[in-house]
Structure 1
């Protein structure tokens, strides 16, 4: 029975290629937008407009969480599949009298990434540069030091505070790394900023497209949350409003297959070897430690098998990784939740690298989960 079902559900090579191209095109658009936590408006507009033709209803709540609803043909559980719209970045802290800008971090950005970078300032993407002292003038000690954000500044080509203000720049305006969308020699590998987590926003758009003519039971809530990078805030707002019966959180996960990581000992996650299912995760100190629900794990693993998608499984506890699942699992009296992740290298940098085959695998698994919604008992024992 499983063998026959797998053949029915397995996508053809042509279908996989079309899905990858669609995901790539949406990802190119989405990563070209400015959407740091608290300033996700342009990303939210894009997602609303992209989902409207395929959803029965698309709502935006007061904080910008996107809720796309697709009703099945028959009654059944409420299934929430979520991504998040925000990216890490910065905001304007102060504008100095000589026209340089001081800035704060929003989310986890390493100080090692700052000096000499191009940035976009405000949602209008005004060009700027994080300044760096001329190498000719650096002392030997300075040439090896990493400057903190408090020692850095942004140059927008202004000579006074008034010049900066005339550009329309204000205190609190968002700032992101300027990063081109780059395809590697292998066109399935793409690199840019904010792959975390625009890749799964793109996957949700493609999921709704493919569900347009598919029968399923219950109700699908395709959710894109805000402010994940600064405390998983949007997820709790939405979960308490929707009250789903169970949820699948889609997010990226660091790949450990680079020379600077002991892959098998520390982070056995590989680019190109399929989606990842983190069984347990938690930030340093384990304040948000959580296991995924055992029945939701079964659902993910079963649908990966049916769709012939390789699945990487691991725990990632105490290493600074967590997702909206930590927030959802304790919302609305406790929501059974699982995580499905796309690996990407160079986390929270302007050069995040992802393999579109892994992303397409996520799509096939969640499509299978929707198709079988309501066919599995979610009770803990």
Structure 2
């Protein structure tokens, strides 16, 4: 007897979609100031699911979707850039001196594989052979000024013939690694490609009939070096309110006093930094009505949110500049927890990302239902 049963197609879940987009996004080189490849990918991904997509001259991506009726302008934003390095000089013997861009720890440098330019030219940050190190040298952390990159060249000319030039972006080489629990992903640039993936999925799921007003999906440049793109876009769009999507360090590792210093856990839902600051540089306190939106939609979606403050702990997001752009923009922050911040092994739980999406989707669908009066 012939078996006429058919194999059912695999059901693609929201987490699967976020996972696939994240895998593509983290494979790209997009250091602050050199986000072109990421911006190109985002524009192409959003074009078919938006009413309009444009990229300004600085690289900020602005996707627009109109709702079924008049209503407020809501902006949901993430940033496209990642921390990294750049070529400072090509030395006569073929080695490369480099500068840091963004918050790169010197502890991460020696013995690392890197990619140079968006063509991913391979290189190695050299380390003195262990056999030749003095006991003192073995305990030292070299600064970036004392390090060099080896691309296997014997002269400046050979390096230049590879297509490498001064100012070229450099990132740590990092594979997309699924842990034993497949919901846990480790790689570079989780900050903030995970929220770029979430924003794409939001536009994919939301329909014009689902909400009133206008949705602006914005992906900013140069967040890691001063929240620069947020200022540009906030002044240009002047939305009625905004939700900033970013990542946040998880404090649930043995080297952090979690409950006292950083009460954020991987796998326990999105975080909402109610207040954060970098002394002398930035301060954010989310708007009370936008906080109410987050609370209401998290309850409706049955998603736990981890609320905290991080004042004076060198943590901030685009929200700091966006809040004071234009005439002032009421906003809230939803952050995806990730361990091992600003390293090539950042670790994220896709369930937390899915929670971010559920809450922000609910906020968009309820757009216009809440007034934004401060009192």
- Shorter-chain TM-score bucket reads over 0.9
1:304 to 298, 302, 306: 298
* 2:107 equivalent among 99, 107, 112: 112
Deviation at 1:335, TM superposition (A): 0.4
Instruction: Return 156-165 or 204-213, whichever deviates more.
Output: 204-213
Deviation per CA, 1:14-66, whole angstroms, max 9, x where unpaired? 99x71100000000000000000000000001001101110000000000000
Q: Which of 255, 268, 282 is the aligned partner of 1:260?
A: 255
Structure-1 separation of matches of 2:374 and 2:18: 35
Q: Aligned in 2, Cα 1:213/1:19: closer, same or farther, shift over 3 Å?
A: farther
CA contact (8 A) 1:85 1:198 kept: yes
Cα distance per residue 1:57-76 (max 9 Å; x no partner): 00000000000000001000
Aligned-partner Cα distance in 2 for 1:61–1:300: 30
The separation in 1 between residues aligned to 2:237 and 2:89, in whole angstroms, is 39
Is contact 2:104–2:342 with CA below 8 Å preserved after alignment?
yes
How far apart are the structure 2 equivalents of 1:328 and 1:127? 37
How many corresponding residue pairs?
Answer: 366
Q: Deviations over 1:301-342 (max 9, x none)?
A: 110011000000000110010000000111011100110000
Counterpart in the other structure of 1:249: 244
CA distance in 1, matches of 2:281, 2:23: 35
Select 1:177's aligned residue among 168, 172, 177.
172
**Inter-partner Cα distance in structure 2 for 1:275 and 1:346:** 17
Q: Which residue of 2 aligns with 1:43?
A: 38
Q: What does residue 287 of structure 1 align with? A: 281
- Residue 22 (structure 1) aligned to one of 17, 21, 24: 17
Counterpart-to-counterpart distance in 1, 2:14 and 2:321: 30
CA contact 2:66–2:208 (8 Å) conserved in 1: no
Match for residue 339 of structure 1 among 333, 340, 343: 333
TM-score (norm. length: structure 2): 0.96
Aligned partner (choices 160, 165, 188) of residue 165 of structure 1 = 160
Which residue does 1:31 correspond to in 2? 26
TM-score normalised according to structure 1 size? 0.95
Deviates more, 1:255-264 or 1:295-304: 295-304
Measured in 2, the distance between the counterparts of 1:222 and 1:213 equals: 14
Cα deviation code 1:182-213 (max 9, x no counterpart): 00000000000000000000000000010136
Give yes or no for contact 1:277–1:311 (8 Å, CA) kept in 2: yes
CA distance in structure 2 between the aligned counterparts of 1:98 and 1:81, rounded to whole angstroms: 48
1:361 counterpart residue number: 355
Aligned to 2:185: 190
Where 1:75 maps in the other structure, the secondary structure is coil
2:145 equivalent among 129, 132, 150: 150
Indicate yes or no: 2:283 matched with 1:328. Answer: no
Once superposed, what is the RMSD of the aligned Cα atoms?
1.0
CA shift digits 1:345-369 (9 cap, x unpaired): 0000000000000000000000000
d(CA) in 2 for partners of 1:190, 1:230: 25
Partner deviation per Cα, 1:120-167 (whole Å, 9 max, x = no partner): 001111000000000000000000100000010000010000000000
User: C-alpha distance in 2, partners of 1:256/1:214?
Assistant: 40
Match of 1:313 among 307, 318, 326: 307
1:289 positional shift: 1.6
Determine if the alignment matches structure 1 residue 351 to structure 2 residue 348.
no
CA distance, structure 2, for counterparts of residue 54 and residue 361 of structure 1: 21
**What is the rounded CA distance, in whole Å, between the counterparts of 1:280 and 1:211 in structure 2?**
29
CA contact (8 A) 1:54 1:212 kept: no
Say whether 1:78 aligns with 2:66.
no
For structure 1, list consecutive stretches of 5 or more residues without a partner in the other structure. 1-13
Q: Secondary structure at the match of 1:141?
A: helix
Runs of 4+ in 1 over 6 A off after TM superposition: none
